[in-house]
Amino acid sequence: MILPGGTIGILGGGQLGRMMALAARRMGYRIVVLDPSPKCPTAQVADGVVVGALDDVEAAKQLAKQVDVITLDTEHVHADVLDQLEAITPVRPGANVLRTIQDRRTQKEFLDGLGLPQARWAPATTPAELDAALAKLGRPAIVKVRRAGYDGKGQVRIDPDSDAHAELAKLKHEPAVAEEVVGFTREISVILARGLGGEIRIYPIAENAHRRHILHTTRAPAPMREAARARAEQIGVTVAEALGHVGVIAVEMFELPDGRLLVNEIAPRTHNSGHFTYGACSTTQFEQHVRAVCGLPLGDPRPLTGAVMVNLLGDLWRDGPPRWEVVLARPEARLHLYGKDAPAPGRKMGHIVLLDDDTRRALATAEQLIAALTPP
């Protein structure tokens, strides 16, 4: 067990690392972060920073020597780097979890191997592979790069009338997979934590709405029938156990009109759709992750209230800082800003959590706030 007073190393200094660091420091841990920028969101609240790229093995080793355990802000740290760090200090989640997850093809093979439902897929790196994939899957289909894609980046859609090879060329020969386009009724995510000893704690299921491929709102708990909730949770638990995961993990799913669930994506870390846990649950996903990777008993994930989270994208900063007064005037609103200094369209700059048992009302409030913050 790594008790408060110990030092946690974080690979990657984005907002997830920042919120984890804030939770860890509240509990008395020290934080050292590896990131290319000494001014990154996590570095602003850390005890130490190692400046370096995430694939810089020497920099990562320098971090490893200063800490009691290493964890991640992003799943895009190369598993081979983690292998080398594991010889110096524990890495949680471990290199093998990342190796399975960070390549979409390996992730899909893993899910198939477990017999878990997902959209039909096929390899699609070359034009010949894409032709075979489209023959199998039909159109429309989505082609996604195998590595390092997020928020719809590194994806192209092949519609019935589009030039498939021209679309594929936009991915610049990156290894890729094709998926059938799924006519889902909604997206949900199961966020849970698995402790060092294998114990599991599951958060209320989140219902997610995307805009321009970027998460827009989450509401929790997702209104759901008991049997569907149990099935979603079972899929999440199966994934976490099969990976031997330690820490928080998010399993994103599509819900189909007939109620079936398909796994879309696994993120072996804290997740944007789990931000509601800060305020809405007894233990936040960030404290829970710290507890898991330090080998502590897990906290209580119980919901204290319903909640809606809405992301604040850089578009809101077009004419300068948004009018935060309108958010701060609402007693149920919690404002989170990540300390990023370069707002860009589509860039996640912060979020608001609305604590309200009436989550339909909270969704409406979220839209009102975004409208009020949007430059004219």
Q: Does 211 bind ligand AMP (CB under 6 A)?
A: no
Q: Is residue 106 involved in binding ligand AMP (CB under 6 A)?
A: no
Angle between helices 226-243 and 104-113 (to 10 degrees): 110
Between CA 124 and CA 126 the distance in angstroms is: 6
By CB under 6 A, the count of residues binding ligand AMP is 13
Q: Should residue 210 be labelled a site residue for ligand AMP when binding is judged by CB under 6 A?
A: yes
Q: Are strands 214-220 and 200-202 parallel, antiparallel or unpaired?
A: unpaired
Type of residue numbered 322:
P
Least CB distance from residue 121 to ligand AMP, whole Å?
8
Query: Are 13 and 43 in contact, with CB atoms under 8 Å apart?
Result: yes
Closest among 339, 272, 353 to 310, alpha carbons compared: 353
Strands 206-211 and 214-220, bridge-based pairing: antiparallel
Is 206:191 a contact under the CB 8 Å cutoff?
Answer: yes
Binding window for ligand AMP (CB under 6 A); candidates: 49-57, 87-95, 142-150, 269-277: 142-150
Would you report the helix, strand and coil content of the chain in percent, each value rounded to 5? Answer: 30, 30, 40
- The piece of 39-47, 141-149, 168-176, 284-292 that touches ligand AMP (CB under 6 A) is 141-149
DSSP 256: P
Give how far the C-alpha of residue 262 lies from the chain's centroid of Cα atoms, to the nearest Å: 17
376 Cβ contact partners less than 8 Å away, ≥ 6 residues apart: none
Quote the least distance from Cβ 374 to ligand AMP, whole Å.
22
Nearer Cβ to ligand AMP, position 252 or 315? 252
| Residue reference for tokens 């009338």 | 161
* DSSP 8-state code for residue 3: -
Q: Which of 103, 187, 287, 356 binds ligand AMP (CB under 6 A)?
A: 187
Print the binding letters for residues 38-57 with ligand AMP: x by CB under 6 A, - otherwise. --------------------
* Stretch of residues binding ligand AMP (CB under 6 A), selected from 181-189, 238-246, 318-326, 340-348: 181-189
Cβ at position 73, least distance to ligand AMP in Å: 18
Which region among 95-103, 174-182, 240-248, 362-370 touches ligand AMP (by CB under 6 A)?
A: 174-182
Shortest Cβ 149–ligand AMP spacing (Å): 6
80: three-class secondary structure by DSSP: helix
213 part of the interface to ligand AMP, by CB under 6 A? yes
Smallest separation, CB 206 to ligand AMP (Å)? 12
Q: Is the dihedral of CA 116, 118, 122, 125 positive or negative?
A: negative
Shortest separation between residue 264's beta carbon and ligand AMP, angstroms: 5
* 152 sits near ligand AMP (criterion: CB under 6 A): yes
Segment contacting ligand AMP (CB under 6 A): 34-42, 106-114, 177-185, 302-310?
Answer: 177-185
Q: Measuring CA to CA, which residue among 160, 179, 156 is closest to residue 168?
A: 156
CB of 144 to ligand AMP, least distance (A): 6
Task: Give the tokens for residue 325.
Answer: 């007064």
Q: Which is nearer to ligand AMP, 271 or 291 (CB)?
A: 271
The residue from 23, 40, 72, 119 that contacts ligand AMP (CB under 6 A) is 119
Query: Phi and psi (nearest 5°) for 362?
Result: -65, -35
Number of Cβ within 10 Å of residue 259's Cβ equals 12
264 binds ligand AMP (CB under 6 A): yes
Number of residues that make up the chain: 376
Query: Quick one: which of 182, 200, 237, 242 contacts ligand AMP (CB under 6 A)?
Result: 182
Question: Between residues 257 and 320, which has the closer beta carbon with respect to ligand AMP?
Answer: 257
d(CA 250, CA 226): 20
Q: Given the rule CB under 6 A, which residues bind ligand AMP?
A: 119, 142, 144, 149, 152, 179, 181-182, 187, 210, 213, 264-265
